[in-house]
Amino acid sequence: MSTIFTKIINKEIPAEILFENENVLAFRDINPQAPIHFLVIPKKEISTLNDLEETDKDIVGELFIVAKNLAKEEGIADSGYRTVFNCNEDGAQTVYHIHLHVLGGRQLNWPPG
Ligand code: 5GP
């Protein structure tokens, strides 16, 4: 089932886009939890990490390559950052289109709570 992220991919609703190619879109989170907080998503609709297939290996790798490139562009590569996929209810997933959170620009806490 499509989510609000499909509308962002299709430019039906606005987002501050940081990167786009044929497979991947990255944009700032609308409700940032750190000074830098953006999401890297596949254009392919994949609901949760549980729905990943063998053939999605390349796309998942690409999400991380885009994440680390943007972390550098955003100036948080050296200070550090966190990458997170939330999965299902206990993982606090709210949008059922997988997305890699990238958070940085402040000291993050661990454990995450
Ligand atoms: P989840 O809780 O599913 O891991 O994260 C979903 C994230 O998407 C949240 O951090 C939320 O702020 C962000 N988000 C939800 N709707 C929108 C939207 O319409 N635009 C943008 N840019 N971010 C959104």
Residue 99 annotated as catalytic: yes
Q: Ligand 1, residue 27: give the atom nearest the CA.
A: 22
Q: Both tokens of residue 74?
A: 């955003």
pLDDT at 113 over 90: no
Q: Which of 38, 85, 89, 95 has the most ligand 1 atoms within 8 A of CB, as the residue to mutate?
A: 95
CATH code assigned at 63 = 3.30.428.10
d(CA 29, ligand 1 centre) in Å: 6
Domain span holding position 33: 4-104
Provide residues with CB under 6 Å of ligand 1: 4, 15, 27-31, 86, 92-95
Residue 109 lies in a domain: no
Nearest to 19 by CA among 28, 6, 32, 11: 28
In this structure, are residues 42 and 98 in contact, taking their beta carbons and an 8 Å threshold? yes
Q: Please indicate, yes or no, if residue 41 is contained in any of the structural domains.
A: yes
The answer to whether position 10 is within a domain reads yes
Q: What is the pLDDT of residues 58-94, one digit of tens each?
A: 999 999 999 999 999 999 999 999 999 999 999 999 9
Q: Is-contact 15 5, C-beta < 8 A?
A: no
Q: Is the pTM of this model over 0.85?
A: yes
Give how many domains the chain has, as a whole number: 1
- Whether 76 is covered by a domain: the verdict is yes
Q: Give domain status of residue 111, yes or no.
A: no
